Amino acid sequence: MKVSYQWLKEYLDLDVAPRELAEKIARTSVDINDVYQPADGLKKIVVGKVVAMQDHPNSDHLHICQVDVGEEQPIQVVCGAPNVTTGKKVIVALNGARIADNVKIKRGKIRGVESNGMLCALQEIGFSDKIAPKDYSAGLYFLPDDAKEGEPVFGYLGMDDTIIDTDVTPNRGDMLSMYGNVNDIAAFYGLQSHFKELPVEENGTENTGDLVSAKIDDHKIAPTYKLRVIKGVKIADSPLWLQIRLWNAGIRPVNNVVDVTNYILLKYGQPLHSYDYDRLPGHDFGVRHAKEDEKFTTLDGDEQTLKANDILVTVDNQPVALAGTMGGEGTAVSDQTTTVALEAAIFDPVMVRKQARRLDLHSESSMRFERGINPATVETALNEAAELIKELAGGQVTKGIVTGSEKSAADKQITLSLAKVNHVLGTDLQMADVEDVFSRLRFAADVKDDDQIEVTVPARRWDIFVAADLYEEIARIYGYDNLPSTLPVMTRNRGGLTPRQRFIRASRHDLEGMGLTQAISYSLTTVDKAKQFQIDPVAEPMKLDFPMSSDHVATRMSIISGLLIDIAYNVSRNVNNVALYEEGRVFLPKGGERPEEQEHLAGAITGQMLANDWHTEDRPVDFFQVKGIVERYLHNMGLTGKVTYVADQSRREMHPGRTANILLDGQLVGFLGQVHPSTAKVYKIPATYVFELNLESLIAAPKVANEYHPISKYPSITRDIALLVDDDITNAMVMDVINKRGGAFLKDVHLFDVYSGLHLPKGKKSLAYTLTYQDDNDTLTEDQVNAAFDKVTKSLTDTLGAEIR
Amino acid sequence: MGLKEKLADLRQQGLQEIENSQDLKKINEIRVKMLGKKGPITNVLRGMRDISVEERPKVGQFANQVRDDLKTAIEEKRAALEQAALDAELAAETVDVTLPGSPVAQGQPHVIQQIIDQVVDLFVSMGYEVAVGDEVEQEVYNFEKLNLPKDHPARDMQDTFYVTPSVLMRTQTSPMQARMLEKHDFSQGPLKMISPGKVYRRDTDDATHSHQFNQIEGMVVGKHITMADLKGTLETVAQALFGDKLDVRLRPSYFPFTEPSVEADITCFNCMGKGCAICKHTGWIEVLGAGMVHPNVLKMSGVDPEEYGGFAFGLGPDRFAMLKYGVDDIRNFYQNDVRFLNQFDEKG
Ligand SMILES: [Zn+2]
């Protein structure tokens, strides 16, 4: 709420500067969006009187005006406004002035005629189109006739006020009124409030009840509903003081009746609605839910199509307003209005909120209904509005209020324990301190004994229900700054990461160490992408009921597809070497209420791991580089089980000849390989290699215990062997034979060459290995090694048809 | 010419030759020529028989002296030549040390991960456990058990991706409050937990909104947990993350699941409190939301609010990262442009 500092000063003897007050409000009541003066950034803008004017010789709409700005001679100003009139007091930006949007005004010539300044509309000195009064929306604003030439205009327009723009949390609806602000500020500064209510003096002869009736069938919609009638009003502009109150609060002045209702809304937080009595379809007011598809034209001229949960104010069952949200075009107060029916009500916060939200009709009124209304001031506000209308627009306030429903404005009693207060806040308050807080808040408090105090919470603080709410009142009025600052007393909690959390963190660090950068992609994706690259495919992903965008409708079942989107994003920006990994959840529907959430780890690499360099050869990423990363990672994680890589052709999104399933002790835990060129084309990415691992399986798998293996002090002996084998004999098959037939002293087998092509028979390839033999307890003899080596050689020949080269 | 004079001549001549030699080969030749068995010194000594017996030892001694002098000169020259050869070889191996070093593959943690880890580590050091919840949550845990019944206005602020009427993408990490309260064995001491993770809102992505972002939730519930403890904890976090030169202020706020509720602001690190665009001219930047756990939340999770109480707080790593590094578009975090990601080295 835009709170006027000058208005506050009418009710409180404030001796603090506005900024200091705002800081205190932020620390004690509600947050502050901004503190500003409407005149901020403006200068040399003064009152001027147009003393003479003539048409511009070179223009059909410009005028040459002589303007008295309090100097010896009037100044000459060329002006294009249609309403410029001799004798009127206007806003003059002098030579050197700053006006809205930091525009500087300079002396100059307009179509050959000298102009020493500018006559301004309100918009030109910073008023928004939404706030400037309609009458002046297309021309100059006329200042009061008694404005003194040459004086700054700011004081006349309330622009020297300071506005404290508060950001009110949903619970503090009371702070959406001057009344609530005054009460809170009085409490935290310990000030006396001079807030004044204006009582009504009914001067009419008729009874209100003879003019209107109100029958509220559903008290849920309108727990309080009251009407007054003012007859014989004369619609006109409001006095300037009232207009200033409104525009400084961000509300456009309209006419004396509507302005009064808005003024009361600001003062009490009570929205009011004024109807043109003579344009009502009858005289019997009520409220009801709308009919499905019922039509209603709001006063902004839009025809609204309603839903059954919308709420309406009706007269003779005809809709006349969207309750709490916006009035109807047909019954709005206009220049011709002479009799006004004035409504003060409380409408259901939830119903108003839903209606305003659905129709996008948020207003000062709906905002207040949504956060609740003080039941204690509904009638006060209605009376004061009637009295002010009578004073400003004339007319007779008829006798009595018509009441359709009335919510109780009873106080609430809450008993507090001083010990508990101190226990919750960590303070050492005395009973007198607590009493002081409630006396400042003007909550009655009755001390029962050393510990118990009964607090009476008035209706104006409808946000307070339980003891905890009062702890907050004590804490904030006592001051959060005054609370001690401690840490929870030491307990026996050990804290720390679980083994699972440590495993995940180690996985991340491991991949980063190998050159992959962590990505965080979106979990929500398209159905097609959600289904791609699954380790162990599930048919359909979990889908959102009501998605926001077609790109994010289902939860991912693999991480790779998101990484490919990231790669496409990079490649399209000419970043061609990308190595990313991601660790996070995938969501696998398996028949339960919620999908199974699995932690996965995936990587995607395109281009080169290392950028081109003067010193190293180009090395585009390939299958074996990615496999090396996966192998090293799985090694580092210390799994006891046996990891194997099995060629796989079943994955549609993967290259059929360059994809391997990753098995841990025969159980599928992931896969790696090249993205199928056709899939890559759809993603608009070049050749990309990927892997994905199910971390759940890896976390659950047994790990190697860290134990020491003594290093043999006896020498090792190596033998190299080169095999010529058929193309379909795999390294795994050869390794299998070597490991099985290698004998007790075979310590290591290292593949050091793979060759096929030139110089070899067609359909053959050459594989070369180094075998290392060592005995932990003795020196091996050449004979022992030769015997073992011959055995392996023979097995390779016999079982794989290998030719030893 | 006496033998001595001949020997002196030989020495003079040898030293001259050694001095003049330019390579190791030549030095070797000189050594063989001068000091060999058939060399000139041996030759001169053959004339010993012609001199007196008294003179002989003196001449012999002198001959040895000459031999030693030549040997020394040869060794010195050899060492000098070897050093020169090595120097030349090394000179030929000289590299341009200003050429760039070979690149080493090194990945980076995501900037948001860095912040999450930093916060998690801080709380772990204070004895908190880390509880990671599901991202697809039951509505009861996301709302009802957090004192957010149907039609609560705060639910509008968190527009939700529903899957079914009872299942949704969690809008906050706060469901872990209720889940942990239900699970914790209070006979073993207070509950101290921190819960980082992804959350989702039904929002259109733009510079300041993202349908996916991160939160870190923290909660301590026990028999003797006070609002002063909350204040101390928030000050510790804010200063650990943003520096201890900044002031922390608490101000009242509103969350349905805490009462009292507060927000913690720190001095704007951009303007040091003077007011600037980043802090919207207030001099303060909001970094944490917190409060004392609402008795209704405790009650709904089966914890007696008369006996137990505590505090909860939440913070947004995305927002932290935006503030800390001046990132002006939240989408940067999820597009994973490597040029963006690699800007945040892990010095913290
Ligand atoms: Zn700042």
**Both tokens assigned to A757:** 């092509």
Write the CATH number for A29: 3.30.56.10
Region label for B336, one of left (φ > 0), alpha (ψ between -120 and 50) or beta (otherwise): left
Tell me: domain B111-341, CATH 3.30.930.10, correct? yes
Question: Residue B157 pLDDT > 70, yes or no?
Answer: no
- Phi–psi pair at A8, nearest 5 degrees: -55, -40
The per-residue pLDDT for A58 is 86
The pair of structure tokens assigned to A199 is: 């009582």
Residue A126 region by backbone torsions, left for phi larger than 0, else alpha for psi between -120 and 50, else beta: left
Confirm whether A674 is domain-assigned. yes
Which residues 166-205 of A have a C-beta within 8 angstroms of B?
A: 169-172
pLDDT band at B241 (very low <50, low <70, confident <90, very high): confident
Least confident of A338-342, A409-413, A553-557, B153-157: B153-157
Query: Is A148 contained in some domain?
Result: no
Q: Does B100 touch chain A (CB under 8 A)?
A: yes
pLDDT of residue A236 exceeding 60, the answer is yes
- In 3-state terms, what secondary structure has residue A608? strand
- Confirm whether A249 is domain-assigned: yes
Q: What does the pLDDT look like over B228-240, one tens digit per residue?
A: 999 999 998 888 8
Three-state secondary structure call for residue B111: helix
Q: Is the distance from CB of B27 to CB of B77 less than 8 angstroms?
A: yes
Instruction: Examine the domain organization and report whether A178 and A213 are in the same domain.
Output: no
CATH number of domain containing A796: 3.30.70.380
Which residue from A755, A686, A745 is spatially nearest to A715, judged by alpha carbons?
A745
CA-CA-CA-CA dihedral for A281, A287, A293, A295, to nearest 10:
30
Query: Domain for residue A492, yes or no?
Result: no
Q: Which residues pair with A226 in a beta bridge?
A: A344, A403
Give per-residue burial for A445-480: e unless 16+ CB within 10 Å, then b. beeeeeeebebebbebbbbbeebbbbbbbbbbbbeb
Q: Which of A162, A485, A596, A615 to mutate to test the interface with B (most CBs of B within 10 A)?
A: A485
Residue A345 has pLDDT above 70, yes or no: yes
Q: What is the pLDDT of residues A441-460, one digit of tens each?
A: 999 999 999 999 999 999 99
Distance from C-alpha of B143 to C-alpha of B124, rounded to nearest angstrom: 27
| Percent helix, strand and coil across chain B, each to the nearest 5 | 45, 20, 35
Mutate which: B200, B259, B265, vs A, most A CBs within 10 A: B259
Q: Has residue A670 been placed in a domain? A: yes
Neighbouring residues of B52: CB distance < 8 A, sequence distance ≥ 6: none
* Same-domain status, A136 and A169: no
Q: Quick one: pLDDT band at residue A248, thresholds 50, 70, 90?
A: very high
At residue B348, the pLDDT reads 44
* Delimiting residues of CATH 3.30.930.10 domain(s) in chain B: 111-341
Chain position carrying tokens 């720190």: B266
Residue A491: inside a domain, yes or no? no
Domain count, chain A: 6
C-alpha torsion sign, points B275, B281, B286, B287: negative
Partner residue opposite A542 with nearest CB, options B127, B136, B235: B136
**For residue B260, is the peptide bond before it cis, meaning its omega torsion is within 30 degrees of 0?**
yes
Size of interface A-B (CB pairs under 8 A): 273
Q: Identify which of B203, B204, B336 has the shortest CB distance to residue A519.
A: B336
Question: Tokens 């913070």 appear where?
Answer: B315
The tokens describing A556, both together, are: 């991912």
CA–CA separation, B223 vs B220, rounded Å?
Answer: 10
Residue B326 CB partners (closer than 8 Å, separation 6+): B278
Neighbours of B43 (CB within 10 A): 11
Q: Which of B163, B266, B280 to mutate to test binding with chain A, by most A CBs within 10 Å of its CB?
A: B163
Q: Which of B136, B234, B235, B262 to mutate to test the interface with A (most CBs of A within 10 A)?
A: B136
Q: pLDDT tens for residues B261-301?
A: 999 998 888 888 888 888 888 888 888 999 999 999 999 99
Q: Over 80: is that where the pLDDT of A89 sits?
A: yes
Instruction: Note whether A466 and A388 are same-domain residues.
Output: no
List, for residues A651-696, the tens digit of each pLDDT value: 999 999 999 999 999 999 999 999 999 999 999 999 999 999 999 9
pLDDT, tens only, A130-165: 888 877 767 899 999 999 999 999 999 999 999 999
- For strand A213-214 and strand A113-115, is the pairing parallel, antiparallel, or unpaired? unpaired
Q: Does B200 touch chain A (CB under 8 A)?
A: yes
Q: Is residue A615 part of a domain?
A: yes
Residues A313 and A445 in one domain: no
CA distance B207 to chain A (A): 16
Would you say A188 and A440 are in contact if contact means Cβ atoms under 8 Å apart?
Answer: yes
CB-CB under 8 Å, B162 with A492: no
Mean pLDDT of B87-104: 90
**Nearest to B289, CA basis, from B325, B252, B239, B320:** B252
Same domain, residue pair A581 and A596: yes
Among A101-110, A128-137, A276-285, A754-763, the range scoring the smallest mean pLDDT is A128-137
Query: Distance between CA atoms of A523 and A585, rounded to whole angstroms?
Result: 8
Q: Looking at residue A688, which CATH number applies to its domain? A: 3.30.930.10
- First CA to last CA distance, chain B: 90
* Same domain membership, residue A468 and residue A385: no
Nearest to B335 among A33, A425, A569 (CB): A569
Question: Does the CA dihedral A152-A155-A158-A161 come out positive or negative?
Answer: positive
Residue A489 lies in a domain: no
Question: Which residue in B199, B230, B193, B234 sits closest to B215, CA to CA?
Answer: B199
For the cut 80, the answer to whether the pLDDT of residue B346 exceeds it is no
CATH of the domain at A259: 3.50.40.10
Regarding whether A456 and A343 lie in a shared domain, the answer is no
Residue among A456, A270, A457, A441 at smallest CA distance from A372: A270
Q: Are residues A491 and B190 in contact, defined by beta-carbon separation less than 8 angstroms?
A: yes
Same domain? For A640 and A654 the reply is: yes
Residues A547 and A589 in one domain: yes
Query: What secondary structure does DSSP assign to B289-312, as a single string?
Result: EEEEEPHHHHHHTT--TTT-EEEE
Residues A116 and A221 in one domain: no
Domain end position, chosen among A371, A405, A439 = A405
Residue whose token pair is 């300037």: A240
ipTM value greater than 0.85: yes
The residues with which A53 forms a beta bridge, in sequence order, are: A65
Cβ pair B126:A487 closer than 8 A: yes
- Are A186 and A192 spatial neighbours (Cβ–Cβ below 8 Å)? yes
CA of B256 to nearest chain A CA: how many angstroms apart? 9
Q: Of B43-57, B156-170, B195-209, where does the model show the most confidence?
A: B195-209
Residues 216-275 of B with CB under 8 A from A: 220, 222, 224-229, 231-233, 235-236, 249-254, 259-263
Q: Which long-range contacts (CB under 8 A, 24 or more apart) does B251-254 make?
A: B251/A26, B251/A27, B251/A28, B251/A31, B251/A480, B252/A28, B252/A29, B252/A30, B252/A169, B252/A472, B252/A476, B252/A480, B253/A31, B253/A169, B253/B289, B253/B291, B254/A169, B254/A170, B254/A171, B254/A172
Q: What percent of chain B has pLDDT over 90?
A: 54
Asked if B65 and B7 count as a contact pair (C-beta separation under 8 A), the reply is no
Q: Do A483 and B252 touch (CB under 8 A)?
A: no
Contact A426 B109 (CB under 8 A): no
Nearest to A25 by CA among B284, B166, B199: B284
Q: Which residues span the domain enclosing A601?
A: 499-700
My answer on whether A371 and A454 are in the same domain is no
Are B289 and B261 in contact, with CB atoms under 8 Å apart? yes
Is A521 in the same domain as A644? Answer: yes
Tell me if chain B has a CB within 8 Å of the CB of A610. Answer: yes
CA distance A7 to A60: 45
CA angle A275, A276, A277 (to 5 degrees): 95
Q: Which residues contact A123 (CB under 8 A, 6 or more apart)?
A: A100, A129, A132
Cβ-Cβ contacts under 8 Å, B107 against chain A: 511-518, 579, 581
Q: Write out the binding residues of A.
A: 463, 469, 472-473
CA–CA distance, B37 with A219 (Å, rounded to integer): 135
d(CA A619, CA A633): 21
Q: How far apart are CA B293 and CA B260, in angstroms?
A: 8
Contact map slice: A 462-521 vs B, CB within 8 A: 466-469, 471-472, 475-476, 480-481, 483-498, 501, 505, 508, 511-521
Q: What is the mean pLDDT of chain A?
A: 94
Q: Which residues of A touch B205 (CB under 8 A)?
A: 549
How far apart are the CA of B243 and the centre of ligand 1, in A? 15
What whole-number distance in Å separates Cα of residue B164 and Cα of residue B170? 13
